[in-house]
Amino acid sequence: MIETRANSKKLFIKTYGCQMNVYDSDRMMDALAPHGYETTLDMAQADLVLLNTCHIREKASEKVFSELGRLRELQDERRALGGDMMIGVAGCVAQAEGEEIARRAPVVDMVFGPQAYHRLPDMLARAEAQRHLHPSLKRAVVDTDFPEEDKFEHLPAAKKEVTIKRGLTAFLTVQEGCDKFCSFCVVPYTRGAEVSRPVAQVIAEARGLVEAGVKEITLLGQNVNAYHGVDDKGRTVGLGALAYLLAEIGGLERLRYTTSHPRDMDDALMAAHRDLDILMPYLHLPVQSGSDSILKAMNRRHTAAEYLDVIERIKTVRPDMALSGDFIVGFPGETDQDFEDTLKIIADVGYASAYSFKYSTRPGTPGATLGDQVAEEVKTERLHRLQELVNTQTTAFHQSCVGKTLPVLIERPGRQAGQVGGRSPYLQAVHLEGSAELIGAIHPVEIIGTSTNSLVGRLKAA
């Protein structure tokens, strides 16, 4: 139980975007807990609302401004009742647009990027100090610097009580930022250069999570397989070697990582997949396009054949590896033939799942200056065709599991009484009849059917 203090203030964080933002939101909660903030699930009750934003596509970015409009109304309502509400914008839109957000939305008290979260209590104190000022004199506190110091070292350790609430599975950021500069992507600008957390820090955090009851950890990074943390002896450790170290933590039963870049699937990581049972046979390996000329224009720095070669190597060490990917349709200059090449690579790989997006021009990226933009209707049509193909593959993959017995980590009560739900090694949701006592462990489950996005199973006597 988290202690409720009489003078405690309520915090609401709304998280957009990728898993790294989910992790960051938890760490912001940890950072504010010692300052009297406890989280609420009701935005209208919050003394402080933080929007943890995503800048990856135009639509994602614009959501922030519509939310800020709604927040202004909530703030007015609270003020009418004699209360107040502070509002902060964090995350990748904050990093990309900084001061501009405060200009467009004066309701905002703080704007701060992902590398400044350890300074949040200090920013909050500065913003609070302005509360009594006349609105015309108030200035949003803006912090979008990329600091020299290690953010993670300055953030308080994940609190055990808070961690328990996070359940049986947890994210752990091991690497941040990106040096790859794909020509469509804002991440290198919003998250900065690639930084890997030291090995000891990662292990300590993983141990803490496991002690708090976590059974499955997903290591996170924009380029997680480019991880190169330093160990206590000053040696550089890659993701493969890190996986072996994490496998030694008693009680940790499953390990995943996301997102990987095809260029960084090295032999050590392949070996880890061959040797380590806790490393789950599910790999999210985005390729974006199946056309070499588009891959070149995207600055992905690999060809379609090289990608297929990586897939072949991984299947050699782990034949049951399920694959997932990301695709962009309608990158500038994408012809019908380029798009057909993308459908072809999808057909060749056979994905268990995939995420696909229409190309969205992002200001400041090299892609934004390219001519030959693809018409919106063409993008829509291509996206539909691609998604149809992927859906067929997902269904086929689910079907192929029927009749098999899979180890399922039972995580929660099911939607109906008497049911429980969990995940297969391949990250599929599995539902089955069973009592709540099953929750918290891995059980053998015979897959007896499928529904739209999940598997239906039956507990097998061990």
Q: Under the rule (CB under 6 A), what is the footprint of ligand F3S?
A: 17-18, 20-21, 54-56, 91-92, 186-187, 190-191, 222
Smallest distance from the beta carbon of 220 to ligand SF4, in angstroms? 12
* Residue 185 or 287 with smaller CB distance to ligand F3S: 185
Residue where the block lists tokens 């934003």: 53
- Give which of ligand SAH, ligand F3S, ligand SF4, none residue 181 binds (C-beta under 5 to 8 Å, depending on kind): ligand SF4
Is 359 one of the binding residues for ligand SAH (CB under 6 A)?
Answer: yes
Token pair belonging to 400: 């192929």
* Residue 20 or 323 with smaller CB distance to ligand F3S: 20
- Residue 102 makes CB contacts below 8 A (sequence gap 6+) with 108, 111, 139, 140, 142
Torsion, Cα 146 150 154 160, to 10 degrees, reads 110
CA pair distance 210, 437, nearest whole angstrom: 19
Is 38 one of the binding residues for ligand SAH (CB under 6 A)?
Answer: no
Task: Find out whether 279 and 243 touch, Cβ atoms under 8 Å.
Answer: yes
Smallest distance from the beta carbon of 27 to ligand F3S, in angstroms? 14
Find, among 125, 163, 113, the residue nearest to 36 by Cα.
125
Is 289 one of the binding residues for ligand SAH (CB under 6 A)?
Answer: no
* Residue 258 or 450 with smaller CB distance to ligand SF4: 258
Is 257 one of the binding residues for ligand SAH (CB under 6 A)?
Answer: no
Smallest distance from the beta carbon of 59 to ligand SF4, in angstroms? 17
- Give which of ligand F3S, ligand SAH, ligand SF4, none residue 188 binds (C-beta under 5 to 8 Å, depending on kind): ligand SF4
Residues 161-180 that bind ligand SAH (CB under 6 A): none
Smallest distance from the beta carbon of 349 to ligand F3S, in angstroms? 23
* Residue 186 or 294 with smaller CB distance to ligand F3S: 186
- Give which of ligand F3S, ligand SF4, ligand SAH, none residue 113 binds (C-beta under 5 to 8 Å, depending on kind): none
* Residue 37 or 359 with smaller CB distance to ligand SAH: 359
Compute CA distances 339 → 306, 345, 358, 389, whole Å: 18, 10, 12, 13
CA pair distance 204, 165, nearest whole angstrom: 19
Smallest distance from the beta carbon of 332 to ligand SF4, in angstroms? 16
- Give which of ligand SAH, ligand SF4, ligand F3S, none residue 328 binds (C-beta under 5 to 8 Å, depending on kind): ligand SAH
Q: Which of 112, 184, 307, 339 binds ligand SAH (CB under 6 A)?
A: 184
* Residue 114 or 238 with smaller CB distance to ligand F3S: 114
Smallest distance from the beta carbon of 185 to ligand SF4, in angstroms? 3
- Residue 85 makes CB contacts below 8 A (sequence gap 6+) with 46, 47, 48, 49, 71, 74, 75, 78, 79
CA pair distance 434, 457, nearest whole angstrom: 10
* Residue 141 or 187 with smaller CB distance to ligand SF4: 187
Smallest distance from the beta carbon of 331 to ligand F3S, in angstroms? 18
* Residue 366 or 440 with smaller CB distance to ligand SF4: 366
Q: Which of 53, 115, 163, 288 binds ligand SAH (CB under 6 A)?
A: 288
Residue where the block lists tokens 């392949």: 270
> Which range of residues in 6-14, 70-78, 155-163, 181-189 is near ligand SAH by CB under 6 A?
181-189
CA pair distance 424, 445, nearest whole angstrom: 9
Smallest distance from the beta carbon of 155 to ligand SAH, in angstroms? 22
* Residue 192 or 240 with smaller CB distance to ligand SF4: 192
Is 56 one of the binding residues for ligand SAH (CB under 6 A)?
Answer: yes
Q: Which of 328, 374, 432, 447 binds ligand SAH (CB under 6 A)?
A: 328
Smallest distance from the beta carbon of 285 to ligand SAH, in angstroms? 8
Q: Which of 28, 172, 185, 212 binds ligand SAH (CB under 6 A)?
A: 185
Smallest distance from the beta carbon of 309 to ligand SAH, in angstroms? 18
Is 261 one of the binding residues for ligand SAH (CB under 6 A)?
Answer: yes
Smallest distance from the beta carbon of 52 to ligand F3S, in angstroms? 8
Residues that bind ligand SAH (CB under 6 A): 56-57, 184-185, 187, 222-223, 259, 261, 286, 288, 326, 328, 357, 359-360, 362
